[in-house]
Amino acid sequence: MEDELEDRVLHQTYISFMKVLSRFTSSIAFDTPAGYLWKMVRLYLLRSEVLVVTLGIIIFFMYLQTIGLWSRTLLSRLSQALSPINAVQRMKLMEGSETDKQSWELKGESSAAYAIKGRRMHMEDKFIISENINSTGVSLFAIFDGHGGEFAANYAKDHLIQNLYNKVVELNAFKDGKLVTTPLKESQDEVKSEENHVIEKKSSFRKSASTADDTSKKEITDPQLLAQLSKARPIITREVRPVKPVKNIAIPLSSYIDKGKINYGKLLTDEVLAADRLLVEAAKRSMNVAGTTALIAVLEDNNLIVANVGDSRGVMCDSRGNAIPLSFDHKPQQVREQKRIEAAGGYIAFNGVWRVAGILATSRAMGDYPLKDKNFVIADPDILTFNLEDHRPMFLVLASDGLWDTFTNEEAIKFIKERLDEPDYGAKSLTLQAYYRGSVDNITVLIINFLNSKFSTSSIMKNDFE
C-alpha cells in the first residue's frame, strides 16, 4: 500500500509539474508571431476533420489524373485494335487519291528521305534526291517547305531543280571543253526516263497535276493566310498591280567558271532568283499567294555548297560527332532581317511567333507575291561552302522546320548517329519521332550518308512523289 501511495504521489507531482511547464512555455511561445501562427495552425488546420477532407481532395485529384491517363491509353489501344493499320503503318502511303496520302519515302545509293503530312490538312513539303547527275560526279539534294498551298513548292521542285540539273550538265561539258548539242532536250529526256523508273516502282507517287502551270488552274490557298492578308490591308494587298514581265537575261556559261572550277554559289543564287521571278509572275496570273522555303545542297568531290532561303535547315555530323550547322534560319526577329523589313516600310508582329506584317513566319521565301511586291520578303539565298576534308563528315541532315520545331541540331545528330545502320539511315525514325514529340507541321527529313559512300557510282535521278 505504501508503494502504491508513493507512486500516486509521484504521478500527481509529475502531472502538476508538466502543467506548470506547459503554461510557462505557452505564455512565452505565443508572445511571438511565429508562436501565434503555430497556435492557429494547430487549432484549425491540424484538426482531424480538416486533415481528412484535405487527404480526400488529394486522393480525388490523383484519381482523376490516373483515370485521364488510363482512358487516353485505352482509347489509343482501342483505336489501334479497331483500325486495320497501326500508328506507324498509318503513316505509310494509303491507297487512293493524292489527299489520302500520309507519308512518302525514297532511297538513293547513299541517301534517303522520309516525309509525312503529319497533323496538317495538306502535304506542302517536297524533296529531291539526285545523285551523280548525268555521271558528272555532282549530286543535288533539296527540300521545299510550302505554305499557303502546294503551288510554289511544286513550281520550285519542277522548274528550279530542272534548270539546275540542266546547268550542271552544261557547265561540266563546257568546263571540259566538250561541245554540248541541245543539252536542254537531252537532260529533260533523261530526267523523264528516270522519273518513269520511279513511277513504275511506286506508282502511287504520281502527282494529280503534271506541271506547275496545270496546278495554277485550280487555286489551292490556305484560308488562314488569306484572312491575314485581309487584316493587313491596305499595307498588303492580294490585288495584282500591272507590271512589265521580267525578261530573263541569258548569262554566259563562262561566268560560272572560276579557275577551272564551277562557281556553284553564283549558280545557285542566279537560278533561285530567276525561278522566283517566274514563280511570282505565274502566281500573279492565278492570284495564288503561296510561297515556299528552299534548302539546296550540291555535292561535288570534297566540296559541299548549301543554299538556304527560309527556315528549313541543314546540319552536318563531323568525324567527332559534332553538329555543324549548314544553314541558318531566316526569321523576322533577327536583327539583320528586321532592319531590312523596316527599311522597306514593313514591320514584324508577334502572332504566335514573330511574323512579317503579322503574316509570314519566315523573312525569306520563294513566291509570296503580296509580300514580295513590297520587298518585305525576298528570295536571296544565303550560300555556305564547306571543304569536307576539313570535317570528314559521317552524315548530313536536311529537314523542313517541322523537324526543328521539336529537335535541336545536337539532338537530331545524336538520334541519327545511333540509327545509321537502318535501311533509310534513320530518316523515318527521326521523322516519326518529331511527330510523336508533337510537331504540328509537315515533316521531311533527308539523310546523306558518307560512311561507305557510293556517290561516285550512282547515276539515278529521283524525286519525291511523281
Q: How does pLDDT run across 343-388, given as a tens digit for each residue?
A: 999 999 988 889 999 899 999 999 999 999 889 999 999 999 999 9
Which triple of cell numbers denotes residue 97?
Answer: 487519291
pLDDT digits (tens, 9 = 90+) for 183-238: 443 333 333 333 333 323 333 232 222 233 333 333 445 555 555 555 555 555 55
Q: 466 pLDDT band (50/70/90 cuts)?
A: very low
Cα(403)–Cα(434) distance, integer angstroms: 6
Cβ distance 141 to 147 under 8 Å? no
Q: Which helix (H) or strand (E) holds 103?
A: strand 103-107
CA atoms within 13 A on the CB side of 357: 26
Cα(153)–Cα(348) distance, integer angstroms: 24
Cα(117)–Cα(444) distance, integer angstroms: 9
Could you give the 3-state DSSP secondary structure of residue 100? helix
Which triple of cell numbers denotes residue 226?
Answer: 488569306
Which triple of cell numbers denotes residue 349?
Answer: 508582329
Mean pLDDT calculated for residue range 309-315: 96
Cβ distance 348 to 368 under 8 Å? no
The pTM of the whole model exceeds 0.75? no
* Spatial CA neighbour of 395 closest among 300, 317, 303, 313: 317
Write the DSSP string, 403-463. HHTT--HHHHHHHHHTSTTSTTTTHHHHHHHHHHTT--S-EEEEEEE-TT--TTT---EEE
pLDDT computed for residue 45 by the predictor: 64
- pLDDT of 13 strictly over 80: no
Q: 252 pLDDT band (50/70/90 cuts)?
A: confident
Helices (H), 259-352: 264-286, 335-343
Q: 56 pLDDT band (50/70/90 cuts)?
A: confident
CATH of domain 87-178+243-449: 3.60.40.10
Mean pLDDT calculated for residue range 322-342: 95
pLDDT computed for residue 171 by the predictor: 93
pLDDT computed for residue 12 by the predictor: 72
Cα(461)–Cα(149) distance, integer angstroms: 26
- pLDDT of 298 strictly over 70: yes
Cβ distance 287 to 240 under 8 Å? yes
pLDDT computed for residue 275 by the predictor: 96
Cα(132)–Cα(195) distance, integer angstroms: 15
* Spatial CA neighbour of 356 closest among 172, 229, 453: 229
Burial category of 151 from C-beta neighbours within 10 Å (exposed 0-12, middle 13-18, buried 19 and up): buried
Check residues 42 and 84 and name the one with the higher pLDDT.
42
pLDDT digits (tens, 9 = 90+) for 77-128: 444 444 433 434 444 433 344 545 799 999 999 999 999 999 999 999 999 9
Chain centre distance of CA 149: 16
Stretch among 1-5, 125-129, 162-166, 272-276 having the lowest mean pLDDT: 1-5
Which triple of cell numbers denotes residue 289?
Answer: 499567294
Query: In sequence order, what are the beta bridge partners of 398?
Result: 314, 446
CB neighbour list of residue 31: distance below 8 Å, 6 or more residues apart? none
pLDDT computed for residue 51 by the predictor: 74
Q: Which residue has the cell 545523285?
A: 131
Burial 112-143 (b: 16+ CB within 10 A, else e): bbbbbbbebeebbbbbbbbbbbbebebbbbbb
Cβ distance 207 to 466 under 8 Å? yes
Cα(159)–Cα(212) distance, integer angstroms: 8
Sign of the dihedral through C-alpha 356, 361, 364, 367:
negative
Which triple of cell numbers denotes residue 41?
Answer: 495552425
Burial category of 373 from C-beta neighbours within 10 Å (exposed 0-12, middle 13-18, buried 19 and up): middle
CB neighbour list of residue 169: distance below 8 Å, 6 or more residues apart? 133, 134, 136, 180, 183, 186, 187
Q: Which residue has the cell 533539296?
A: 142
Cα(417)–Cα(457) distance, integer angstroms: 24
Cα(244)–Cα(183) distance, integer angstroms: 30
| Cα 198 to Cα 13, 229, 261, 459, distances in angstroms | 102, 39, 32, 13
Q: In what order do the strands lie in the sheet with 103-107?
A: 103-107, 111-116, 443-449, 395-399, 313-317, 323-325
- pLDDT of 269 strictly over 90: yes
